[in-house]
Structures are given as C-alpha cells and as structure tokens.
C-alpha cells in the first residue's frame, strides 16, 4: 500500500555549474510529494497524515521554504534537492510497518525528478 502527501515551497537558486539561463539567480514554487510504502498498523493507518506533515515541515520545509538553496545544497538541481530531502526524511518516517518509498520534486508544473530507495544506494 502507498501513502502520499504533497507540499509546496518557494525558494531561489542558481546553478553555477550549468551553462544557460539557470546559472543566473531565479526562483521557483516547488512541489514535493512524499510517498511511503507499507501496511496499515493496528490503528488501520500506514502513517498519520498529520504526523507526516509535521515531519516534513520540521525536517525539510523549515529549511527550504523562502531560502536561497545554494546556501544549503551544493548545485541545487531538482535531482540534488530530491536526494537532500530523501536523506532528511528517511529515518524520520521509518516505522515497523512502513518505509520511505519515493520523494518527487517538481521544479515547474511539468518538470519533476523522483528519487526511490534503490537510487540512494
């Protein structure tokens, strides 16, 4: 079973190792989807949606929202942002009945990156 919750955050960055207009300072309204995989517990839930919101707010959004991402992540591409988020969440959402399945980050409405467990090995 999969459980998914979505979030948004606004941030600025520049891609200094990229040659094109994105090497200049600019911003995005990012969309983030966090997906957990597992089985419902004795309360009938895979993970409490309210608790997941708190975990993501505390571990991710509190640092990334309205931030200059280059101060936090080297070369903050969508790929590197997704991997940074994965590392921040993996231990916090692990339960006997579930684990982190994927982190998806949209830089624009039609461009996203998905990181899954096997990608982080």
Domains and CATH numbers, the chain: 2-34+43-120 (3.30.479.10)
Res 105 pLDDT > 70? yes
Q: What is the pLDDT of residue 121?
A: 63
pTM, entire model: 0.95
| 93 token code pair | 């959402």
Taking residues 26-37, report their average pLDDT: 97
How far is it, in rounded angstroms, from Cα 24 to Cα 96?
45
Q: What is the maximal distance between C-alpha atoms in the chain?
A: 53
**For residue 90, which of 36, 30, 17, 24 has the smallest C-alpha distance?**
36
> Within 10 Å of residue 85's Cβ, how many Cβ atoms?
26
CA distances 70 to 26, 29, 31, 38, Å, are: 11, 16, 18, 34
Q: Considering the chain, what percentage of its residues have pLDDT values greater than 70?
A: 99
């Amino acid at each position: 079973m999969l459980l998914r919750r979505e979030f948004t955050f606004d941030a600025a960055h520049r891609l200094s190792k990229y040659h094109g207009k994105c090497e200049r300072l600019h911003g995005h309204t990012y969309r983030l989807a966090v997906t957990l995989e597992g089985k419902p517990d004795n309360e009938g839930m895979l993970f409490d949606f309210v608790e997941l919101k708190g975990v993501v707010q505390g571990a991710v959004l509190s640092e990334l929202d309205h931030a200059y991402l280059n101060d936090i992540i080297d070369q903050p591409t969508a790929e590197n942002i997704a991997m940074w988020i994965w590392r921040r969440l993996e231990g916090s959402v692990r339960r006997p009945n579930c684990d982190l399945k994927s982190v998806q980050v949209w830089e624009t409405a039609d461009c996203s990156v998905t990181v899954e467990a096997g990608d982080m090995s």
